[in-house]
């Protein structure tokens, strides 16, 4: 696990957020990745602005966002290797199978000056 830092209260209005332990942070980040996957799998309402309107990374391509999320999930899950009994290689491989497999499927972040 990583060290302690504010996480659960970090983005709120609390001026001095409490510090959370590494396990809480790790599990929270993994839950955030799963929530992002859930959101990207939802059908966008017709009244919503197109994703491409503000997406400078993937141009609104939801499949690229999903692939990036699954790649991040595989990395997070693999961090449990040799550190926790929660490590499940099959979960890492399942996430990798849904991640980008070529440069064309990857997220490219253009640097803007």
Q: Are 32 and 13 in contact (CB under 8 A)?
A: no
CA end-to-end span of the chain, whole Å?
35
> pTM score, two decimals?
0.85
pLDDT tens, 5-36? 999 999 989 999 999 998 899 999 999 999 99
Mention every residue, 6+ apart, whose C-beta is less than 8 A from residue 72: 33
> Residue 108 region, left (φ>0) first, then alpha (ψ -120 to 50), else beta?
beta
Q: Where are the domains of the chain?
A: 5-105
pLDDT tens, 38-74? 999 998 888 888 877 888 888 889 999 999 999 999 9
């Amino acid at each position: 696990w990583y060290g302690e830092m504010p996480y659960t209260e970090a983005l709120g209005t609390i001026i001095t957020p409490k510090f959370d332990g590494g396990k809480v942070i790790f599990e929270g980040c993994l839950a955030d990745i799963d929530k992002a996957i859930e959101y990207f799998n939802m059908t966008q309402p017709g009244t919503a602005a197109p994703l491409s309107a503000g997406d400078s990374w993937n141009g609104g391509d939801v499949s690229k966002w999903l692939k990036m999320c699954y790649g991040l999930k595989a990395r997070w899950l693999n961090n449990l290797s040799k550190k926790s009994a929660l490590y499940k290689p099959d979960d890492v491989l399942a996430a990798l199978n849904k991640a980008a497999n070529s440069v064309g499927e990857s997220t490219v972040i253009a640097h803007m000056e």
